[in-house]
A and B are shown apart, each in its own frame.
Chain A
Amino acid sequence: MINVFKRFLNRFFKDLFQEKGQVKLGLYGPPNGGKTTLANKICMDWLGEEMGRASKIAHETREVQIKEQITIKRDKKELTFSLVDTPGIATKIDYEEFIKAGMKSTEAKGRAKEATKGVIDAIKWLDDMDAVIVVLDGTKDPYTQVNITIIGNLEARKIPVLLVANKSDLKKFDLKHVQAAFPQYDVIGISAKLGNSLNELYEKLFELRKKALKRK
């Protein structure tokens, strides 16, 4: 009974003080696309602190992470949002891949178990998003089912989407290939690691917020 009352009070005060027009911006994509690297870069640029740990081994982010009250300021414009970094979505998880990457068997199995929960959580969170940046690895084949399923689900839920092809600092990066795979979307090529083209991304976030507020 006390818990129910506490939850009611929390929700009441949250609704009362939450800035009108603030959006929940999700980062979605396959594992190792660079979602956390991008989240860290955004948080460092506008909050001065990182969001989470990024790694070369897939499924480093296994829990949904949130940073609230990020404010981007550009040419007298301001945009405040909550950034939600989600675990990479995959159709398969093999603990042996983690062993190949140098982990011990128990650790690898634990990581695989957590990674499966992470994928489930990322899918569950889809309904809570106001807008989404889909972070794709611009060095890899964009025609994967995970990419298509994520974008298809956002389309079905009418959630505004911005497509980002990450890793423009690498030789294999091919922006045109990603653009050809998703011709109905604007695709920005960035390097989250080096911060290349992030100004263009920040500019696009203002447009994305407009679409998100229209949908609200």
Chain B
Amino acid sequence: MLTLQYVPYTDIERLTSEARVEHLLTIVKEEKIILLEGKLRAEEEAVLIKRTMEEISASFKGIEISPLDVGSKHDQAFFQRLKTMLYDFLLGNRRGLTIIGPATIVKEIRKDPDKIQLLTQDVKHKRKR
């Protein structure tokens, strides 16, 4: 069975970067796929990768992660970009969506770049081996 857990931005808003990463990693290690409202900062993604590597074992093989932008800043007109910047400043980085899943379940996340395709592992087949 595949479990998706929605994590609203308010859940991580007041946490430090390290605490955010720990919170997300704990959920992923429970073999759940996270749908996070908003995005992590680039530095937080690096911390997430670092912490993931520290946790790798025979049963936990890492993560797949992919954020989905809503209207990339590069494609926007000047006033729209200004509006987006103001929105980010006031509300934090809560635009878009980030998918984070355990690599034992999520084989690949394909981005195109406005849609996400989640390819899952054949778990039954894997367990038989």
Show the binding face of A for B, using Cβ within 8 Å: 89-95, 109, 112, 116-117, 119-120, 123-124, 126, 141, 143, 145-146, 148-149, 152-153, 155-156, 183-184
Contacts and interface: CB of A to CB of B under 8 A. Distances in A.
Contacts of B50: 119-120, 123-124
A37 B127 CA distance: 37
Nearest to B72: A183
B45 interface: yes
B46 A153 contact: yes
A149 B56 contact: no
Interface size class on chain B is 20 to 34
Contacts of A90: 49, 62
B111 interface: yes
Main secondary structure of the interface of B (DSSP, over half): mixed
A155 B54 CA distance: 25
A174 to B, nearest CB: 15
Given A143-B111, A149-B45, A91 B65 contact: yes
A124 B103 CA distance: 23
Interface string B63-84: 1111100000010000000000
Contacts of B67: 145, 148
Given A94-B61, A153-B42, A123 B54 contact: no
A146 B58 CA distance: 22
Interface of B: 41-43, 45-46, 49-50, 52-54, 56, 58, 61-67, 74, 103, 109-113
Contacts of B46: 123, 126, 149, 153
Given A91-B65, A141-B110, A152-B42, 18 more contacts: A90-B49, A91-B62, A91-B103, A92-B62, A94-B61, A109-B58, A116-B53, A116-B56, A117-B53, A120-B50, A123-B46, A124-B50, A126-B46, A145-B45, A145-B64, A145-B66, A146-B49, A149-B46
16 contacts: A92-B56, A92-B61, A92-B62, A92-B64, A93-B53, A123-B50, A124-B50, A141-B110, A143-B112, A145-B109, A149-B42, A152-B42, A153-B42, A153-B43, A153-B46, A184-B74
A93 B62 contact: yes
Contacts of B41: 156
